[in-house]
Structure 1
Amino acid sequence: MSKKGILLVNLGTPDSPSTNDVRRYLNEFLMDPRVIDVNPAWRTVLVKGIIVPFRAPKSAKLYKEIWSDTTGSPLMHYSILQRDALQKRLGAHYMVELAMRYQNPSIDTALDNLKKALVESILVIPLFPQYASASTGSVYEKVMRLVKDWPTPPNISFINSFYDDDLIIKTFADNARKYNPDSYDHILFSFHGLPQRQLVKADHTHSHCLKVNDCCQTITDKNQFCYSAQSYATARLIAANLNISDDRYSVCFQSRLGSDPWVKPYTSDVIAQLAKEGKKRLLVFCPAFVADCLETVYEVTEEYGAEFRHLGGEEVQLVESLNDSPTFIDALERMVRNSIQPSPAASSF
């Protein structure tokens, strides 16, 4: 009996924290035209001539801070656990493969494994709760580019986003409850940043993004695929689950690159303002990530923590990501079963 293929795809991680491996990872990541969406010649100069030569050695040092000798990077560690847990849940009639958009295990290899297994269909789940052209869109493009030359490709479908999935929201909220959110002065929802121009490109009406007051505060037909609008929606749902009032939390965006304007407000600016207001203890969510990684474990806990303390604050507590939470695996299993109808041959199982 044919199996159904499931392809989980996360962003990626270097093969090791060595400068060479980090350089290789950054080159592949930043040369993606959906990530740095500028003229190809300028992108090459910018990435290979400026960003990577200076950033690779610095990033390698940071990766060494979070790297485990036994399990490697946190992102890889939790991604493997997610794959294995989902495979166990789904059973023998499914084949779950894990890939990284950049570096290893590659999408090429994962798709080849599914092809060799003669799966009857492939459901691709980009592991990004909020849709962005630079993440989910890039996975779409890569997968379709690889399978377009297959003589007989199976049915292929995608999960677009899951920013408002109730089980995802519950997992983040449950992770926070152990820290007693009411005991913190303020709650931050810090999402990965994107250039504003990428949000504008997602507005097919050309009349909403950055042209309407509070354009991201409510999901509508016009901004339903907007990364920022989906991020605000995720934050609202988690806050509601925890009974956090609007005045006790802020939404912000981290990890800027270059001089062009990125999605605002910036996390560093919000932290500075909260310190100025006399806030001492911050609880921080990073709901753009399904697995802890450099941007959560180090950037929030270490860099923003040090910045906040320097400005007079006392504590920045990270709420861990979805990682290998059984409730997150519940969510993935539900996505699969709701997206793939059982074949007649499998109906008795």
Structure 2
Amino acid sequence: MGKKGILLVNLGTPDSPEVKDVKKYLDQFLMDGRVIDIPRFNRNLLVRGLIVPFRSPKTSKLYKEIWNEKGSPLLYYSKVQTAMLQEQLGDEYQVELAMRYQNPSIESALANLKTGLVESIRVIPLFPQYASASTGSVIQLIMELVGKWHTIPNISFVNSFHDNQLMIEVFAENARKHNPESFDHVLFSFHGLPERQIDKSDYVAKSYNFRDVSQREDYNDGNKFCYLAQSYHTAKLIAKELNIDRKDYTVCFQSRLGKEPWVQPYTTDVLKRLAREGKKRLLVFSPAFVADCLETLYEITVEYHEEFRELGGEHVQLVESLNDHPKFVEALVAMAKG
């Protein structure tokens, strides 16, 4: 019997924090039709004519703030997760890592599995909640690439793992290091999406209205594939693990790009509300990520902390991501074995 192939895929990172590499990364990322889902001609004008030229220098500076001797934190922890998973699975498996954007590429990782003559490929997109712009993009590209092979092995995908119990336990364990009871309020800040992308959801009940927060919170068969419903469910499960009452936490969405409506509430608006209410210390989870990255290490730890202090608050504390926690690797083992 041949080896079984496992492909872990994360979002991606520039090869370096220098402007030229950030430009390449942003260009590939934002030209993805599932990320900016407008006609290609318009997308090309917007991305290559406006966003990439103006955002690259600024984004380069931000990456330089989180880059360290190990390089990109997201790539570093992704490599560690891959190595730990390979060790746990043993010689019967061949584990490869890819990034949806930049390196190591999905194409090169698939080529490695093909050269290894694996008997099957199990793809695990490293996004706990399904979104067309993340998991959907990974699955589409892999199907396009493998669809060109003459011989196609058995391929399966992990669609989402937003309610994985081991993942929930890791976030809870990481939070306990900071004594959650010492904070005035808890935020679950997920990566945002344009409302139009949620409007396009074609695997939800016709009666489901994502703009109604109560419907987001009621996770059921009618909305179980909705990014928002999965996000609220993740937050609910972590809060339950930590005995955090519903009134003591808020689900919100960060990283908005552009002026069009994105899913709300925006994290920045929640910070303003909590400051007006006299809250001083906030504990913030970012459960859309399995490894700390620009959105957690800078956007939350630096930008939101500074913004909250300017509003009269005192401290914003990030709960570390799953990173190299052995229990998360246990979760990956179970997903790999299907």
TM category (shorter chain) comes to over 0.9
Aligned pair count reads 337
Superposition TM-score, scaled by structure 1 size: 0.95
Q: Distance between the aligned counterparts of 1:209 and 1:261, measured in 2?
A: 16
| Shift in Å, 1:200 | 1.5
Whole-angstrom distance in 2 between the partners of 1:221 and 1:170: 24
C-alpha separation in 1, matches of 2:206 and 2:18: 44
Q: Superposed, which structure 2 residues align to 1:223-242 within 5 Å?
A: 223-242=223-242
1:211–1:250 CA distance, 2 compared to 1 (3 A): closer
Q: CA deviation at 1:203?
A: 4.2
Q: TM-score by structure 2 length?
A: 0.98
Equivalent-residue separation in structure 2 for 1:236 and 1:25 (angstroms): 34
Match of 2:19 in 1: 19
Q: Is the 8 A contact 2:210 2:228 kept in 1?
A: no
* 1:316 equivalenced with 2:316 (yes/no): yes
Unpaired segments ≥5 residues, structure 1: 340-349
Deviation digits for residues 25-47 of structure 1, max 9, x if unmatched? 00000000000001111111110
User: 1:186 and 2:157 equivalent?
Assistant: no
Farther off after superposition, 197-206 or 148-157? 197-206
Q: CA deviation at 1:174?
A: 0.5
Give the Cα separation in 1 of the matches to 2:39 and 2:215: 28
The answer as to 2:104 corresponding to 1:105 is: yes
User: What is the CA–CA distance in structure 2 between the aligned matches of 1:211 and 1:244, rounded to whole Å?
Assistant: 24
Secondary structure of 2:216's match?
A: coil
1:239-283 superposed Cα distances (whole Å, 9 cap, x missing partner): 000000011100000000112110100000001110111100000
Shift of 1:209: 2.8
1:105-125 Cα deviation digits (max 9, x unpaired): 000000000000000000000
Aligned-partner Cα distance in 2 for 1:202–1:329: 31
Question: What does 1:1-349 correspond to in 2, within 5 Å?
Answer: 1-69=1-69, 71-204=70-203, 205-210=205-210, 214-337=214-337, 339=338
Tell me, in whole angstroms, the C-alpha distance in 2 between the residues paired with 1:49 and 1:215.
Answer: 39
Residue identity in the other structure for 1:89:
Q
Question: Cα gap change, 1:73/1:168 in structure 2, threshold over 3 Å: closer, same or farther?
Answer: same
- Is the 8 Å Cα contact of residues 203 and 222 (structure 1) preserved in structure 2? no
Q: Give distance in 1, aligned partners of 2:287 and 2:38.
A: 27
Query: Quick one: which amino acid aligns to residue 246 of structure 2?
Result: D
- 2:195 & 2:13 partners in 1: Cα distance? 25
> Residues 184-238 of structure 1, C-alpha deviation per residue, up to 9 Å, x if partnerless?
0000000000011111111444442346562211122221111011000000000
Specify whether residues 211 and 128 from structure 1 end up closer, same or farther in structure 2 by C-alpha distance, changes over 3 A only. Answer: closer
Give aligned-pair identity as a percent: 64
